[in-house]
Structure 1
Amino acid sequence: MEVGHEYDRFRTLVKPALESKLNEFRMLGYEKITEQELWEFLIKKKWKKMKKEPHLYQIVQEILSVQVNEFMNFATVEAFMMADFDLDDEEARKELLK
């Protein structure tokens, strides 16, 4: 059984902040980022070390302070970690360099 993140209890309360951040990303040309992807970034990166008793305003502030480059760096690393890629495979390296 997978236990959720401590801050999952705030998700519905901060939904307007998440939507606002996604709208900002869309204005900058990043239309395909989903709310779930943004939430995963926050959980795995921003909230890796949780505060004992977080305040709602702190969580909203952290959501609104996310920058596109932070998210994209995280997404790139996640994609490489999930990819079935072998650097020892000559063909795979050539395909990557195309």
Structure 2
Amino acid sequence: MTNKLKWREAFLLRHSLKRKLKEFHRAGYLNVVETEMWDYLIEKKWKSSSDKTITEYKNDIKNIVINDFFDYQQLKAQVKNVDSFDFGDIQDLL
């Protein structure tokens, strides 16, 4: 969760992140959780960014677009390693 952020920065940004999650939930996306949002921010939004101020981080959180978040989730699902797939459980699908 805090790969690039210090614990203090993550603490200060948590309120903004929770506000954005509430926005997603109001839009009907109830399954989005905080850890997914952190992953999106760290792995996509802030991947190549240099040191930012707390205000810049908060603005990034505030400006998350639902479509961009789900595009990232879809890409992440497509490149997910499926080596651990258990073909023994396929009977449930039949």
Establish whether TM, by shorter chain, passes 0.5.
yes
Moved over 6 A (4+): none
Partner of 1:66: 64
**Against the structure 1 CA distance between its residues 30 and 83, is the aligned structure 2 distance closer, same or farther, given a 3 Å change threshold?**
farther
Structure 1 partner of 2:11? 12
CA-atom RMSD, angstroms?
1.6
Note the residue ranges of structure 2 that are not aligned, 5 or more in a row.
84-94
Cα separation, partners in 2 of 1:21 and 1:55, compared to 1, 3 Å: same
Percent identity between matched residues is 26
TM-score by length of 2: 0.79
Q: Which segment drifts farther, 26-35 or 6-15?
A: 6-15
Stretches of structure 1 that go unaligned for 5 or more consecutive residues are 86-98
What SS does the aligned partner of 1:57 have?
helix
User: TM-score, normalization: structure 1?
Assistant: 0.76
Q: Cα gap change, 1:68/1:12 in structure 2, threshold over 3 Å: closer, same or farther?
A: same
Which of 73, 82, 85 is residue 84 of structure 1 equivalent to? 82
